[in-house]
Amino acid sequence: MKLSCQEGLVPGATFVEKLKNLEAYGFAGIELNGGHLHTPEEIAERTAALADSPVRASSICGGNTAELVHPDKTKRQKCSDGLKRQLEVAAKLGALGPITVPIFNHNDRVPDLSPWRTRAQIERDLLIEMLLPLAEFASQLHTAVLLEPLNRYESNSIPTQKDGADIVRAINSPGVRLMSDVFHMHIEETNSPAALVAAGTTIGHVHLADNTRKEPGSGDIDFKAIFTALKSVSFTGYMAFECGLTGPGAEVLPKSAAFLKSCME
């Protein structure tokens, strides 16, 4: 298991400086901001910087719509096309892939057609149909779409690890993997370590934050239990900080990284 961090949390005036700081802080990876990967120049800058750094690109977050199950076909297609572009960028930069959620609560949603089909059932089936061609595309590039369950206050489409893992298993392709976020799990799961064990090898990437949604070690999540669960399912991927910080990054990030490494021992 390797620590990563979203680039926006890292001090540094340039991407090169951010990579140097992450290396000094004890991180092995960087989670790229998808909003900074739209132009050839932005991609070239990151490609060159990563080539000269031991810090690797772990994943891509943001920079695309989250509307795979939007009732508007045009918006669904736009989201899918955006994920394809990010998968291509991930392949170039050596990242596993982009993170996506099916849809946020504030977006328009498909109707509830009970008793024939509930909204949850419709969204689940639609999500699988949207992900199948993306899975094939990602597999060809040796990348993956990283599907993230969110807590009920942000999206009730697939709120639990089981919801997400069931989708990944239904697709049955290395081109779609589960993205497990311990902050969202702290809200939705009654036993987060057990939920990770049940999700098993569907897990491709992890987001780290404490229950405060600040850096790990600032709250009460049992990270030793989280890491024990991940080790038990042979997870060896990246775990990226996606959180706020309680202080300056130059102080907080190395301290939190050291705390997490002690929890892994």
Point out the residues that are catalytic. 148, 242
On the 0-12 / 13-18 / 19+ scale of CB atoms within 10 A, 138 is buried
Residue 159 and residue 129 in contact, taking contact as beta carbons nearer than 8 Å:
no
DSSP string for 8-33: GGS--SSHHHHHHHHHHHT--EEEEE
Q: Give me 88's structure tokens.
A: 């291509």
On the 0-12 / 13-18 / 19+ scale of CB atoms within 10 A, 239 is buried
In this structure, how many other beta carbons lie within 10 angstroms of the beta carbon of residue 265?
Answer: 6
Q: How far apart are CA 253 and CA 21, in angstroms?
A: 10
